[in-house]
Structure 1
């Protein structure tokens, strides 16, 4: 049995806080054992006394004041009372035994997970806007135009952020109101620049998707041509760079960025960074987002790109809004014409003029220096014999990116990559290439010789298409948003592929992943915030989930586990009618029910005084007034076989804005085969609104 509380949202407006986009550069996955984060509480004091308190704690394990000072990497003093330090494992264990220390956990490293997408999901440039409030929110960087700089005016009074002059970065303006970077682990890569500037393209792309100014006639060398804009093009943006080519995205840098953004005065945080798993109380992203939630800030995070498979979603804390990637009605195809007249459709973005010429084709496995070189079948760098490849097309197995560069570099004319992976996103190539599904077996179609005999021939022709691409999902989320082949702004400091020898540079690029889907939903959250500046993070999340457009389980058998509540619907989310709201205590009850002790939650709630034994027992999610439910049926008019559902009362009456009402949902399910997913909805309807809560019954594999 589950009790749900709905609140009629108030539409009264007041001055909104600044919306801040938390954005990053590039990352690699790494595991660092020498840095630990030590949490002392939730009540920061003045900078001087807090820092000295951190040194005093370290003096219990360090020999001198100087040694204690040198071991500290960060002192967090504004939002939470904690510090990051370089310690041995023994020192970390000893610190954890101190009464004043609430938690000690190792620093870990995370990885990074448009012209058409906004129109596709129903937020056209003509959509209703509250421009006065939208200008008090935040936007993006790369598609900013100097001619429109005067439209913004000075930053709102509530903004407390900072922006300095750094390498390759000249400072902020009235659009970009804040820019900082966080990196103190000492590792460096030649490509890293100690500056907020984006050297990877990831942060520029995502931030412009969220809040970029309108730029007409944007394209990637003519592909995906259209007007590029963000969800809230009149908003402002602040950038917090925590990801680096040399070290990835570390917990201690991430927490420092969270603290800065919360202190600066933010409405929404957009984080396209992967979670590292484990418990919520040791996941820096979940910890930072919890503190953001306590300060009224919604954190939107990418779901990760490790699916489709069970338990592959990242960033699944219930106080986050987790996003999966869906497709739009556009796809980039590369057509291969074989010498026998057959046409094979591949996936890829080529900016080269197609040549109407037949070339001999050769398997990479036969193009190596010797038959023993297994790397040749993947066309790995240094594995192919130039005398065999020169003037030919090479068929390679996908083992990593860059085969097209290898083939071109030794005189080849083009590359076909065979992949057993899902071909739902187009890779940009630096030389003529395409990727096909390995099940097509192009080798048998053109009868590639394995040892001797004449080579077959085919025509290599690349054509960009505009075919319908329905829904795809990289992972299981709260909601889905466009994340496939999204065109948005790009950094001028990196070539389109980032590969050696690539000379392709563009102000715009196509990228795919839940990283691209995340700013779509964060942009919708900012759009809602511009109309309802006093709404809680939970209320905004509820508005997005209960108004999402349902997606088809016939297309994706994992149903809601693949796409959540459905495709985000900005126009309906702006005025949902009813919202499921909750506060910090609801999440604390959830954590207690999930088995967390009061002391283990100290890193989140800032106190050891939580007494979980005083709370009623039950399933964790029963404690949450969540806009979706764990048990699921079709509905009362069309019940699922083996499942009965009852809702009491069957109608809700409200007399004023902000009024609360409770109802009970009772679901009784008979034993069912395993594994099985049954999906349905609980829908509240009025003359103007439809408030839909997905309900899912899942029977796992025994």
Structure 2
């Protein structure tokens, strides 16, 4: 295997496992083979954790035939946030255990994949301002953020504990020792917890209990970089003069710089997470006393299948966390811009989309005729000088090591117009490796509009341009006998005229499992984000920083802001925090005030609720939203009833027999949104708002109805006083269409002269 091919494989593996949020591959085997099954038993019936584990052993013994076999086959006992266990069983044994008393559901051990300096200023949280959510909450001090990811690089300055107070007394967790991880050296008042869970992954790999051949640290230490990046984004300490090889220079910090971090490593060498490890991390985090959970992983569509009916590990684990008052923030996925691709859409989760911040990395391309065109890149090497320019004899995909005409030249190539963003990314990685390997001096890639620059992050002269600029360069090449070009290093540009767009890769709604639940909930910066990373040389422990992209990067932005909101409003429920975030979001660009566009095949469509939920997160407004749409655990259970979940699952989640209200419509669940995928005639629904602003407040309604849809609200004025803190109102929605094939979008806003409490409306008419 030649060197270029090796480079291509390494880079492809790196970006596929690290950046893009991939399909969940179900771990299947023959009937007689043992594999991991998860036995979910719902809410705990008592607090004696040893007795709970003994009960799990008893149940497994009844199926396997011996106590010794039961103990030996068990992977995990879940006993803190909920009850259940993961164990090696055959399919027939799993079927037998399904029918035992107390068992809510038995699931195979499915797998999931992974999904700054400027962004906090962009979101209105400048570091030195005295009047914003960041400083009014002492930067999130005493809030504990749990990050479920690929681990941590503890030596990075983003985890220093300068100025951080004592570890909160509510913390019950600890730091776990392991390979190249010493709790006494690597944990402190900032990084207060670090655990790892690998048994589910080892079973998935077919080697339960054995770490032989695992190319990862068997410890909380991160070998991937993804977990280091996300955790430092959520709650990293301030580090001055940080850049990526000179680009994006500034002070790096997390959203809640004084919040504490608890790391739960569940992502391993190939970026894979398993249900068994995910559930154990949720169970442990609930026990440890965390306030926020950030989860940058998930499954792609289809979300409903024979092996994944309606709910899995993330569903159950996140429900029990939210029931304990812990807000769960999760990535919506990187399968956009196609509709119906959003994941992690449980109603109690804050599901995050990704937008671009007001920052770009222009890369000058100066042609021999004196014309300078701008590409984009993270090219940090030396100027090429004036060199020869050639056009590829084919597409970027067809470049090969046999193309010796590239040697000594910069080459222009075009990617095909078809193919997913993942495929385009692979083509770019490969094309750059080929050009570099045959002695080319640089590459200009003309491709579909795409803001991801991760594949261009090194010193090799490279630039990304769209088809229009690519065509101009091609015309120049064709017009002259000896075309020349000069590629200059990338620069950093912030603010106007750069405007935010919802990233092309960001997964879109509607949510396929429950189209009447708006997902995603909110957008946050996820493109070209600078944060802490693993060092290039693992033997040299130096602070390293890298720019990468994905809804994985957007998720910890929201988690950090949730930590600040939790510090500002400690009594708010997870639903109240979610409502505050959704109803106060920016619906125009935070910097320029221009409309938010949707990055797709072309940037020509205004973003809608299925692209960004309520909009782009607005931290300072979310602190004092005026009104909130609150929900309790009971509301979520009734929501599941309306979604058609099995009554045994619902009762298991509740920890007691729960009957469904057959008359409940999912449209009446108190979401901070209204989504109607099948309007036929007229529907009247109800919402309830709670006043969290001045006691004597008067709100008037403002409606922007979707095109062709009539929306009326009763009452149209809400009068709050010391004895009236909650008011319900009805919304009557009717359509003038016989049917329509798509959604139309509008909004309902309550205004008191200070606050605009806005919820999005999405309506599709059916026969």
The TM-score normalised by the length of structure 2 is: 0.78
Work out which of the residue numbers 385, 399, 402 in structure 2 matches 1:385.
402
- Out of 127, 138, 147, the residue aligned to residue 144 of structure 2 is 138
Greater shift, 61-70 or 569-578, is seen at 61-70
CA distance in 2 between partners of 1:685 and 1:475 (Å): 31
- Work out which structure has the larger RCO, using CA pairs closer than 8 Å and 6 or more positions apart in sequence: 1
Q: Distance in 2 between matches of 1:617 and 1:319?
A: 18
Q: 1:110 offset after TM fit, Å?
A: 0.9
1:263 maps onto 2:287 in alignment: yes
Deviation at 1:442, TM superposition (A): 6.4
Q: Cα offset for 1:457?
A: 4.2
Verify the 8 A CA contact 1:230 1:523 in the aligned structure 2: yes
Residue number in structure 1 paired with 2:352: 323
1:237-285 residue CA offsets vs partner (Å, 9 max, x unmatched): 1111111123601111111100111110111111111235236753211
Structure 1 position 325, deviation (Å) = 0.8
1:341 is displaced (CA, Å) by 4.7
What is the alpha-carbon distance in structure 2 between the residues aligned to residue 680 and residue 493 of structure 1?
Answer: 48
CA distance in 1, matches of 2:733, 2:158: 58
Quote the residue 2:521 is aligned against: 478
In the other structure, the counterpart of 2:443 is 415
Alignment-derived partner of residue 182 in structure 1? 197
What secondary structure sits across from 1:487 in the alignment? strand
Instruction: Tell me, yes or no, if the aligned pair for 1:558 and 1:677 is still in contact at 8 Å.
Output: no
Render the CA deviation track for 1:647-690: whole Å, top value 9, x for unaligned.
Answer: 11112122239922111111122216633332222111124322
Identify if the C-alpha distance between structure 1 residues 93 and 115 changes in structure 2 by more than 3 Å, giving closer, same or farther.
same
Flag the 1:638–1:581 CA change in 2: closer, same or farther, 3 A. Answer: closer
Q: Is the 8 A contact 1:268 1:298 kept in 2?
A: yes
1:489 aligned residue (523, 529, 532): 532
* Partner residue, 2:43: 42
In the alignment, which residue of structure 2 is the partner of 1:101?
Answer: 103
Q: CA deviation at 1:454?
A: 7.8
Equivalent residue, structure 1, for 2:457? 429
Determine if the alignment matches structure 1 residue 159 to structure 2 residue 165.
no
1:565 aligns with 2:614: yes
Deviation of the 1:347 alpha carbon: 2.5
Q: Deviation string for 1:480-505 (max 9, x for gaps)?
A: 1111112222222569xxxxxxx999
**Alpha carbons of structure 1 residues 25 and 255: separation in structure 2 relative to 1, 3 Å:** farther
User: TM-score, with normalisation over the residues of structure 1?
Assistant: 0.85
Q: How far did residue 553 of structure 1 move?
A: 6.6
Aligned match of 2:658: 610
Residues 613-692 of structure 1 correspond to what in structure 2 (within 5 A)? 614-618=661-665, 620-622=666-668, 624-631=669-676, 642-656=708-722, 659-671=725-737, 674-692=740-758
Tell me if the contact between 1:37 and 1:84 (Cα under 8 Å) persists in the aligned partners.
yes
Partner of 2:54: 52
Task: Indicate yes or no: 2:561 matched with 1:533.
Answer: no
* Alpha-carbon offset, residue 155 of structure 1: 0.7
Change (3 A) 1:155 1:637: closer
1:410 CA displacement: 3.6
Matched, 1:288 2:317: yes
- Partners of 2:159 and 2:391 lie apart in 1 by 53
Secondary structure of 2:743's partner? strand
CA contact (8 A) 2:358 2:498 kept: yes
Q: Which moved more, 1:579-588 or 1:437-446?
A: 437-446
Tell me, yes or no, if the aligned pair for 1:25 and 1:242 is still in contact at 8 Å. Answer: no
| 1:696 aligned onto 2:698 | no
Structure-2 separation of matches of 1:696 and 1:405 = 45
Query: Equivalents in 2 of 1:169, 1:110: separation in Å?
Result: 26
Asked if the contact 1:629/1:695 (under 8 Å) is kept, the reply is yes
Query: Distance in 2 between the 1:465 and 1:388 partners?
Result: 33
Contact 1:642 1:669 in 2 (8 A): yes
Give the match's secondary structure for 2:463.
strand
Given the superposition, is the C-alpha separation of residues 304 and 657 from structure 1 closer, same or farther in structure 2, using an over 3 Å criterion? farther
SS in 1 for 2:62: coil
- For residues 600 and 442 of structure 1, do their structure 2 counterparts lie closer, same or farther at Cα, with a shift above 3 Å needed? farther
Instruction: Quote the offset at 1:49 in angstroms.
Output: 2.8
Task: Tell me the distance in 2 between the aligned counterparts of 1:133 and 1:442.
Answer: 49
Structure 2 counterpart of 1:523: 560
- Correspondence 1:299 to 2:328: yes
1:554/1:230 Cα in 2 relative to 1: closer, same or farther (>3 Å)?
closer
What SS class does the counterpart of residue 582 from structure 2 fall into? helix
| Residue range with higher mean Cα deviation, 681-690 or 211-220 | 681-690
CA contact 1:327–1:483 (8 Å) conserved in 2: yes
Structure 1 residue 389, shift from structure 2 partner? 4.0
CA gap of 1:658–1:152, structure 2 versus 1, over 3 A, is farther
Shift of 1:335: 3.0
Distance 1:340 1:415, change over 3 A: same
Pairwise CA distance, 1:138? 3.2
Q: Matched residues in 1 for 2:287 and 2:310: separation? A: 21
Mapped to 1, the partners of 2:43 and 2:102 lie a distance apart of 12
Whole-Å separation in 2 of the counterparts to 1:465 and 1:176: 31
* Aligned equivalent of 2:64: 62
- Contact in 2 for aligned 1:113/1:515 (Cα 8 Å): yes
Q: Aligned-pair distance for 1:331? A: 0.8
Partner of 1:87: 89
Measure, in 1, the Cα distance between the counterparts of 2:235 and 2:53. 36
CA shift in 2, pair 1:256/1:263, >3 Å: same
Q: CA deviation at 1:458?
A: 3.2
The match for 1:14 is none
**Structure 1 residues 691 and 65: alpha-carbon distance in aligned structure 2, compared to 1, 3 A threshold:** same
Contact 1:201 1:494 (C-alpha < 8 Å) held by counterparts: no
Paired residue total: 652
1 CA distance for matches of 2:742 and 2:475? 39
* Distance of 1:150 and 1:342 partners within structure 2: 50
Q: Decide whether the 8 Å contact of 2:597 with 2:607 is kept in 1.
A: no
- Uncovered stretches (5+) of structure 2, i.e. residues with no partner: 1-16, 29-34, 206-210, 416-423, 509-519, 589-594, 599-604, 680-700
- CA distance in structure 2 between the partners assigned to 1:40 and 1:147 by the alignment: 37
CA contact 1:299–1:321 (8 Å) conserved in 2: yes
| Cα 1:583/1:509, change in 2 over 3 Å | same
CA distance in 2, matches of 1:130, 1:317: 31
Q: Which of 260, 264, 275 is residue 299 of structure 2 equivalent to?
A: 275
RMSD: 3.3
Q: Distance in 1 between matches of 2:672 and 2:52?
A: 39
User: Residues 494 and 627 of structure 1: is their aligned pair in 2 closer, same or farther, counting only changes over 3 Å?
Assistant: farther
Going from structure 1 to structure 2, the CA distance change for 1:641 and 1:546 (only over 3 Å counts) comes to closer
